[in-house]
Chain A
Amino acid sequence: MTPLALAWRGIVRQPARAALAVLGVATVSALLFDMLMLSQGLFISFGHLLEETGFDVRVTATKALPMLGPRVRGAEKASRELSSLPEVASVLPMRIEWASMATNDDEELDVIFIGVQSAPEQPWTILEGDGLMDRVGDAQPPVLLNAYLAEVLDADPGDTLSLRGRCDGAGNALPTTEFRVAGVADFPYDSSGTPRVAVTLQAFRHTCGLDAEDAVDVLLVTSAPGAGPDGAVAAIRAARPDLHPLTNRQIMNRVQQTEFSYFRQIAFVLASITLFFAFLLIATLLAVSVNQRFGEIAALRALGFTRWRIVANLFCESALLVGAGGLLALPAGGLLALWLDGILRQMPGIPTHLHFFVFEPRALLLYLGLLALTGLLAALYPIHLAIRLPIAATLRNEVVS
């Protein structure tokens, strides 16, 4: 009988205890799995979010991340120059401010106000109606609403609405501008309960009273096929050393080291604690199991079973407990992650497309590796007990007891 078969028989011999042990391992393993998904979840999800926009390079005026530093002055010229680079496929200047508008109840509502140059590629998905480009020749400038705002206003494509720019901290001094709703869009950075609108850059400047100002927060760039984002960044740096292009990967790394580092650290600490609990649990279960079977083990040794055969039996027992618990933990951890993700994503300002817990093969491999290592280490003490067992003394003690 192989060590695995013998270990399996040993486990199923006491099904209630085995079930409790597997449940215990599954519980701590599910937490470990979740912490590993959390440790990289925001990073990966943020990467997906950046990729979703369809642009792979972002150009700003300084080293600061987009929207967090000074604006790019002379945006039109910069946009033209970058567009002419063979490594660049398209450039989309974008500026973001605040605007206010009246709701159906005559209450003033602050909305995120985005201005982009009309171009075929836009960093959002049209859910209903048309895009800005399709309505740019209309008598009233077009506006896109996010789904939340469309619901609040009960607005449909073709409706008109008035926006008052609150740009660069300007109060109510600016006049309102009438817009016609072109469509409803899904904005990648939308957070639940946050109204958002997008208009053309020209209409944006007009609404903000900035007709003469040629500044944007960021230039969204799509690299040319074959050049890739790194090639585009190199070309932009060479052409405009005063600008700061960043690939999506570079932005992700910057954010990972700053904004997301808290989650990474928390996940690391919690994963370490969970691993420690898993270690204690498995070690205790196996140690108790070995203690209860001293007589059996001594008898097997007396019958000629080698120390290594006993070690193999215990390793197999550990592997079965950890394996069963670890596998059970995957669906359990997945469900728990969905639940926790739902709670965390309700925090204000969190983009609805951003997830805290993200499944990825690397997290699964790391989980399996850590669990296997924990099972291995946890089995060492019980194995030490078993192989150091004095056969004769144990047999004598078993009879006396």
Chain B
Amino acid sequence: MSGPIVEARGLTRIFPMPAGPVTALRDVSLRVDPGDYIAIEGPSGCGKSTLLHLLGCVDGPTSGRLWFDGKDVAALSDSQRSRIRLNGIGFVFQRFFLLPMLTAWENVELPQGEAGASRAERRHRTAELLEYVGLADRAHHRPSQLSGGEMQRVAIARALANRPRLLLADEPTGELDEETSAQIGELLSRANADGNALIVVTHDPSLAARARRRLSMRGGSITGTTT
């Protein structure tokens, strides 16, 4: 597919709150093409994560429209959006959210099984990804037996498991020290260089500096773009 992976037009997200509605995102438009590396920066509460969640199809806009691979996301059913997230989007979270009862191997294998990959395909892909993130020797360790950096590397491997076109990372270095953050930054850059479009929400200037396009947000709007 040669068109944009994601195209957002006039996205607005208003959260109803007891004290009155809060506009978290205000008329944001964005286009993400294959191979893009976008960093979204801004102070806390400026709407970065809200935008990421809308682009990742885990939330819906109050107004505006979003297309993923040319499909109008608002017109899709919940299960169709799940299918897009499963096959087209990889999520990396600040808190990793690895399943604690599963090993690193099983965490990476899990979304592949859900996508219907065969046992042989899963085995091959999981080994390949753990090798890719440098954790082949920790494949059978549980999250509680891994460091924060290792957990995030497993989470990145899991996000890449179904070969998504778009990788979304929400503060991926938010819980890591500087050195480990640099390693994660390196890994994300490599994933982008290998063809995954990448959007990173971050407070980390060194991570943002790796992006080819940097969006600054404030008060729910994109206030600046640096390329």
A interface vs B, CB < 8 Å? 1, 6, 9-10, 12-13, 295-296, 298-309, 390-393, 395-396, 398-399
Counting chain B residues whose Cβ lies within 8 A of the other chain, the interface size class is: 35 or more
On chain B, the residues within 8 Å of A1 by CB distance are: 102, 106, 109-110, 113
Q: Which of B51-59, B65-73, B127-135, B218-226 binds A?
A: B51-59
Q: A295-B95, A304-B82 are in contact. Are A9 and B102 (CB under 8 A)?
A: yes
Please pick, from B49, B110, B162, the residue contacting A396 in the complex, using a CB distance under 8 A: B49
Q: Which residues does chain B contribute within 8 Å of A10, judged by CB atoms?
A: 101
Within 8 A of A (CB), among B75-130: 78-79, 82-87, 89, 91, 93-95, 97, 99-102, 106, 109-111, 113-115
| Given A1-B110, A12-B101, A302 and B85 contact (CB-CB distance below 8 Å) | yes
With contacts A296-B99, A303-B110 known, what are 9 further pairs, Cβ within 8 A? A9-B99, A296-B100, A299-B91, A303-B159, A305-B86, A307-B79, A392-B53, A399-B93, A399-B95
Task: List A contacts of B7 (CB < 8 A).
Answer: none
Q: Knowing A296-B99, A392-B50, A392-B58 are in contact, say whether A306-B91 is a contact too (CB < 8 A).
A: no
Asked if B171 lies at the interface with its beta carbon under 8 angstroms from chain A, I say: yes
- Note all chain B residues with C-beta closer than 8 A to A296: 97, 99-100
Task: Kindly list chain A residues whose C-beta atoms are within 8 Å of the C-beta of B214.
Answer: none
Residues from chain A with a CB closer than 8 A to the CB of B113 are 1
Q: List 30 contacting pairs A-B, 8 Å CB cutoff, sorted by A.
A: A1-B102, A1-B109, A1-B113, A9-B99, A295-B97, A296-B100, A299-B97, A301-B58, A301-B85, A302-B58, A303-B86, A304-B83, A304-B84, A304-B85, A304-B89, A304-B111, A304-B114, A304-B162, A305-B86, A305-B114, A306-B82, A309-B114, A391-B53, A392-B49, A392-B50, A392-B58, A395-B49, A396-B49, A399-B94, A399-B170
Please tell me which one of the listed residues A6, A295, A308, A391 contacts residue B58 in the complex, with CB atoms under 8 A apart.
Answer: A391
Interfacial residues, chain B to chain A (CB-CB below 8 A): 49-50, 53, 56, 58-59, 78-79, 82-87, 89, 91, 93-95, 97, 99-102, 106, 109-111, 113-115, 158-159, 162, 170-171, 174
Cα of A304 to Cα of B162 in the assembled complex, Å: 10
Shortest Cβ gap from B146 to chain A (Å):
16
- Also in contact, A399 and B171, with CB within 8 A (given A1-B106, A302-B91, A305-B114): yes
CA distance A329 to B113 in the complex (A): 35
Closest to A308 in B: B79
Beta-carbon contact of B53 and A13 below 8 Å? no
- Assess A305 versus B94: contact at CB under 8 Å? Given A1-B110, A12-B101, A395-B58: no
Contact partners of B171 in chain A: CB under 8 A: 399
Residues of B within 8 A of A393 (CB): 59
- Bound form: Cα–Cα A295–B170 in Å: 14
Using known A-B contacts A303-B111, A309-B114, determine if residue A9 contacts B101 with beta carbons closer than 8 Å. yes
- Find out whether the CB atom of A305 lies under 8 angstroms from the CB atom of B82: yes
Q: A301 and B53 in contact (CB under 8 A), knowing A9-B101, A12-B101, A296-B97?
A: no
Closest to A394 in B: B58
- Shortest C-beta distance, A181 to chain B (Å), equals 73
B115 contacts across to A, CB distance below 8 A = 304
Distance of A395 Cα from B83 Cα, bound (Å):
19
Q: Which residues of B contact A308 (CB under 8 A)?
A: 79
- B130 smallest CB distance to A (angstroms): 17
Q: How far is the CB of B76 from chain A (nearest CB, A)?
A: 13
Bound Cα distance A100, B144 (Å): 81
Contact (A303, B158) CB under 8 Å given A398-B95, A399-B171: yes
Q: Give Cα distance in the complex from A301 to B91, angstroms.
A: 11
Instruction: Name the residue in B87, B100, B158, B159 with the highest tally of chain A Cβ atoms < 10 Å from its Cβ.
Output: B100
Residues of A within 8 A of B102 (CB): 1, 9
A306: which of B79, B95, B110 is its contact (CB, 8 Å)?
B79
Known: A9-B101, A296-B97, A392-B53. A303 touches B79 (CB 8 A): no
B82's closest neighbor in chain A, by CB?
A: A306
- Minimum CB–CB distance for A304 against chain B, Å: 2
When distances are taken between beta carbons in the complex, the residues of chain A under 8 Å from B106 are: 1
- Shortest beta-carbon distance, A12 to chain B, in Å? 7
Cβ-defined contact, B86 with A304, below 8 A = yes
Residues of B within 8 A of A9 (CB): 99, 101-102
CB A302 to nearest CB in B, in angstroms, measures 5
Q: Are A304 and B100 also in contact (CB < 8 A) when A395-B53, A399-B95 are?
A: no
Query: Residue among A12, A295, A307, A399 with the most chain B CB within 10 A?
Result: A399
Residue of B nearest to A12 (CB): B101
Residue in chain B with minimal CB distance to A14: B101
Identify the closest chain A residue to B59 (Cβ).
A392
